[in-house]
């Protein structure tokens, strides 16, 4: 079949009748970039029971949805999904491809990029378009994908470009991009794919007999208030103070990587480049210095309150309010006066 080429495509993660939030976030970003380039936004999904998926994704501005419905494609396994994307991408030749930096995306992305010799930038915190000049070749490029992510332990922000190889591939963590519906009535076309055209029978050699999925008890993404602690909290016992404040406010407790590495709190609560990205209405940062990796995960919070003994801590530059003082002194007072004034 004749195919439009040189478009933007997003791999959709689909399970239990719904598209993953990270995929919808990437559709939002993909739509904006497609408008800038004057190309289509496309999406690809594979699995079982895909009857209602158009209603979920078309409002995000999808022009073409490639859909492979086959019960063997669900749940996700590496080989069939890799073969689908590799063979489809060879056919439609997208210029840009996105997928979530999830367990699935981290397995799928390298397989596809390696097979296509395209390269891949993982865990991007921003995606933009811009020009690039190759001084060695004396060649100018327009509208390349800027794949932006912290590097060298967060000490620099790297902007990575891929001038020659296609597609330009990137993975993005859940919560990094905003999820916005383009038009509830947006209508794109659906292209139904057949498994035998893209996936060989040998790719189905692995069969999942049973799965046990444990849901996390921590819901940082869904919390409107987060009380987060860093290495400056000082001890596991002081994190109990933060828990008391969180309980008082109806909030969740989060942490920086330094606090997690110190063993004061579990990894599920880590916020930042190597943790969760959050956008609460109120973010209370206690004893957090504000390294770039942490800021990447919380800087879009509506209101940021910093509690720190260091008035020059980097996090204070993004905070709306700053309280200079010790956690042991400030937090009990916050609890006391909140209870007093909320009766």
Task: Give the pLDDT confidence of 62-110 residue by residue, as tens digits.
Answer: 999 999 999 999 899 999 999 999 999 999 999 999 999 989 999 999 9
Provide mean pLDDT across the span 323-327: 93
Position with higher pLDDT, 342 vs 202: 202
Q: Is residue 261 part of a domain?
A: yes
Beta strands 156-160 and 139-151: pairing type?
Answer: antiparallel
Q: What is the pLDDT of residue 292?
A: 82
For residues 192 and 69, the answer to whether their CB atoms sit within 8 Å is yes
- Considering the domain architecture, whether residues 331 and 183 belong to the same structural domain is answered as no
Query: How far apart, in whole angstroms, are the C-alpha atoms of residue 176 and residue 277?
Result: 6
Question: Does the structure show a pLDDT above 50 at 121?
Answer: yes
- Mind listing the pLDDT tens digit for each residue in 196-249? 999 998 988 888 888 777 776 778 888 999 999 999 999 998 899 999 999 999
Position with higher pLDDT, 251 vs 153: 251
Q: Is residue 73 part of a domain?
A: yes
- Considering the domain architecture, whether residues 294 and 194 belong to the same structural domain is answered as no
Q: What is the pLDDT of residue 1?
A: 39
Q: Which pair of tokens denotes residue 270?
A: 């880590």
Query: How far apart, in whole angstroms, are the C-alpha atoms of residue 79 and residue 71?
Result: 15
What integer best gives the mean pLDDT of the chain?
Answer: 90
- Considering the domain architecture, whether residues 55 and 112 belong to the same structural domain is answered as yes
Closest CA to 148 of 112, 122, 186, 174: 122
- Domain closes at, from 169, 204, 239: 204
Share of the chain above pLDDT 90, in %: 67
- Considering the domain architecture, whether residues 184 and 294 belong to the same structural domain is answered as no
Share of the chain above pLDDT 70, in %: 97
Q: What is the pLDDT of residue 206?
A: 85
Longest dimension (CA), the chain: 70
Question: Does the structure show a pLDDT above 70 at 153?
Answer: no
- Considering the domain architecture, whether residues 196 and 240 belong to the same structural domain is answered as no
- Considering the domain architecture, whether residues 102 and 15 belong to the same structural domain is answered as yes
How far, CA to CA in Å, does 233 sit from each of 152, 277, 325? 25, 21, 11
Question: Does the structure show a pLDDT above 50 at 2?
Answer: no
Q: Is residue 135 part of a domain?
A: no
Q: Is residue 153 part of a domain?
A: no
Given pLDDT bands bounded at 50, 70 and 90, which one contains residue 273?
confident
Q: What is the pLDDT of residue 226?
A: 95
- Considering the domain architecture, whether residues 51 and 166 belong to the same structural domain is answered as yes
DSSP conformation class of 143:
E
Q: Which of 46-55, 58-67, 155-164, 213-222 has the highest mean pLDDT?
A: 58-67
Question: Model pTM?
Answer: 0.80
Q: What is the pLDDT of residue 7?
A: 94
- Considering the domain architecture, whether residues 239 and 316 belong to the same structural domain is answered as yes
Q: Is residue 138 part of a domain?
A: no
- Considering the domain architecture, whether residues 29 and 171 belong to the same structural domain is answered as yes
Domain coverage including residue 288: 225-341
- Considering the domain architecture, whether residues 190 and 316 belong to the same structural domain is answered as no
Q: Is residue 150 part of a domain?
A: no
Q: Is residue 134 part of a domain?
A: no
CATH of the domain at 242: 3.40.50.1220
- Considering the domain architecture, whether residues 199 and 254 belong to the same structural domain is answered as no
Query: Domain tally for the chain?
Result: 2
Q: Is residue 143 part of a domain?
A: no
- Considering the domain architecture, whether residues 40 and 183 belong to the same structural domain is answered as yes
| Tokens 């397989």, residue located | 111
Q: What is the pLDDT of residue 209?
A: 83
CATH of the domain at 113: 3.40.50.620
Question: Does the structure show a pLDDT above 60 at 255?
Answer: yes
Question: Does the structure show a pLDDT above 90 at 15?
Answer: no
Q: What is the pLDDT of residue 218?
A: 78
Question: Does the structure show a pLDDT above 70 at 343?
Answer: no
Q: What is the pLDDT of residue 178?
A: 86
Question: Does the structure show a pLDDT above 90 at 51?
Answer: no
Instruction: List the alpha helices (DSSP H) in 117-171.
Output: none
């Amino acid at each position: 079949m004749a195919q439009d080429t040189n478009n933007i495509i997003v791999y959709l993660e689909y399970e239990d009748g719904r598209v993953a939030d990270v995929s919808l976030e990437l559709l939002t970003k993909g739509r904006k970039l497609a408008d800038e380039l004057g190309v289509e936004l496309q999406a690809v999904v594979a699995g079982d029971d895909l009857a209602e998926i158009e209603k979920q994704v078309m409002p995000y501005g999808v022009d073409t949805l490639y859909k492979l419905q086959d019960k063997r494609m669900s749940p996700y396994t590496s080989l069939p999904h890799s073969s689908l994307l590799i063979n489809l991408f060879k056919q439609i030749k997208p210029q840009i491809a996105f997928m979530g930096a999830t367990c699935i995306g981290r397995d799928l992305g390298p397989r596809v990029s390696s097979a296509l010799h395209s390269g891949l930038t993982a865990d991007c915190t921003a995606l933009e378009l811009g020009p690039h000049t190759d001084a060695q070749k004396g060649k100018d490029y327009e509208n390349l994908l800027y794949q932006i992510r912290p590097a060298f332990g967060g000490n620099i922000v790297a902007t990575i470009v891929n001038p020659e190889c296609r597609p330009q591939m990137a993975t993005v963590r859940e919560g990094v991009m905003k999820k916005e519906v383009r038009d509830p009535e947006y209508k794109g076309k659906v292209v139904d794919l057949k498994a035998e055209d893209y996936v060989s029978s040998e790719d189905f050699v692995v069969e999942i007999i049973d799965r046990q999925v444990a849901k996390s008890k921590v819901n940082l993404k869904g919390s409107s208030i987060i009380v987060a602690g860093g290495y400056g909290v000082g001890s596991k016992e002081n994190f109990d103070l933060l828990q008391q404040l969180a309980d008082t406010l109806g909030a969740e407790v989060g942490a920086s990587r330094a606090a997690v590495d110190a063993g004061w709190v579990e990894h599920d609560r880590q916020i930042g480049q190597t943790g969760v990205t959050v956008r609460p209405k109120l973010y209370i940062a206690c004893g957090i210095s504000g390294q770039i990796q942490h800021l990447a995960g919380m800087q879009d919070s509506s209101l940021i309150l910093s509690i720190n003994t260091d008035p020059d801590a980097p996090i204070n530059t993004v905070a709306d309010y700053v309280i200079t003082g010790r956690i042991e002194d400030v937090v009990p007072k916050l609890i006391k006066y909140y209870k007093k004034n909320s009766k």
